[in-house]
Amino acid sequence: MISSKKKFPRQYAIGLLLAASMTVVAACSETPSEVTTQEEATENVTTEEISSGAEGLIGETVSVRAEVEEAVDETSFLLEDDQLFGGEDVLVINASGEPFVLTEGDDTPVQVTGEVQQLVVAEFETEYGLDLDPTLYADYEDRPVVVAQSIALSPDPGDITSNPEQYYNQRIAVAGEIEDKLDDNTFTLDEEELFGGDDLLVISNMPSPQAQDGEKVTVTGVLRPYIKADFETDYDLTWDLSIQEQVEAEYTEKPVFVADEVYPSAM
């Protein structure tokens, strides 16, 4: 730790990043999964999978879900899990310039997607147009860092369904287990809480025929309250009558997640 860093102030709008068009696609191997139709694969990793060190990941694009520990300045922050990158703090550098705000008391995880690079402050300032204070980054010079192209809040399904107003109409990433697959475009994610939230209904813009009940997936998109007329206008829904009736009966005016990406989770 360097003494000039401050503990993460939740009311402080740190300059993280929320890319306007998040391009998170993931695969757990070199071959892109059939769950997503994207051609370019991102390595979706857990902290344990890279706990032995990040040197081998330099040049790779990874996607990591964790809580924010603290801000370094307005353009970077540390991920909380100390097992990431061999037990070292993981520095994430803002490479988009889009603000991302966490309010006081919010410990919602975030999903970071970006390239692992070796930090050279002078080169980063030139390449990404950043103004980095060398004294704040002295401990991280020449160390692997994540240059994030996208960051999104990543609440659990139960947190979303129990408090949807906090997440409506903003881009988020959600990891969970498929509980009930209604068709190739529609399924629920298990809320996994003993009490409180309900399962989260997901409507995918892209069919996911390979995704099955019990599979752990991550979805990215936007949360909206289900209003039948709005959804029929905005989306090309292909539900049969039984699914239409089930969704209308169980989810009218309740939160529904509209996903533009569905891919295997590294949970």
Q: What is the CATH number of the domain that holds 118?
A: 2.40.50.140
Residues 164 and 249 in one domain: yes
3-state class (DSSP) for residue 180: strand
CB 204 within 8 A of CB 185: yes
> 179 with 220, same domain?
yes
Residues 96-111: tens digit of each pLDDT: 777 666 555 678 888 9
Say if 28 falls within a structural domain.
no
Q: Is 106 exposed, middle or buried (0-12, 13-18, 19+ CB in 10 A)?
A: middle
Same structural domain for residues 117 and 197? no
Within a domain: 164: yes
Give the tens place of pLDDT for each residue, 80-101: 765 556 666 788 998 877 766 6
pLDDT, tens digit, 9 for 90 and up, residues 216-249: 888 999 999 999 999 999 998 889 999 999 999 9
Question: 242: domain range?
Answer: 157-264
Provide the domain count of the chain: 2
CB 162 within 8 A of CB 199: no
What is the spatial distance between Cα 253 and Cα 143, in angstroms, rounded to a whole number? 48
**In this structure, what DSSP letter does residue 44 have?**
E
- Is residue 77 included in any domain, yes or no? yes
**In this predicted model, what pLDDT tens digit does every residue of 15-30 receive, in sequence order?**
333 333 333 333 333 3
Of the three residues 115, 136, 153, the one that is the final residue of a domain is: 153
pTM over cut 0.85: no
Q: Give the CA dihedral 144, 6, 121, 103, nearest 10 degrees.
A: 80
Report the alpha-carbon distance of residue 261 to residue 24 in Å, rounded.
Answer: 8
Whole-number Å distance between alpha carbons of 34 and 107? 33
Q: Which of 153, 179, 207 is the last residue of a domain?
A: 153
**Contact 13/99 with Cβ under 8 angstroms?**
yes
Minimum mean pLDDT range among 44-53, 109-118, 204-213, 214-223? 44-53
The answer on 242 and 188 residing in a single domain is yes
- Give residue-wise pLDDT tens across range 163-194: 999 999 888 999 999 999 999 899 999 876 54
- End-to-end Cα, the chain, rounded Å: 28
**61 and 134 part of one domain:** yes
- Assess if residue 234 is contained within a domain: yes
Spatial distance between the Cα atoms of 35 and 181, rounded to a whole number of angstroms: 14
Question: Do residues 183 and 131 both lie within one domain?
Answer: no
Do 115 and 143 lie in one domain? The reply is: yes
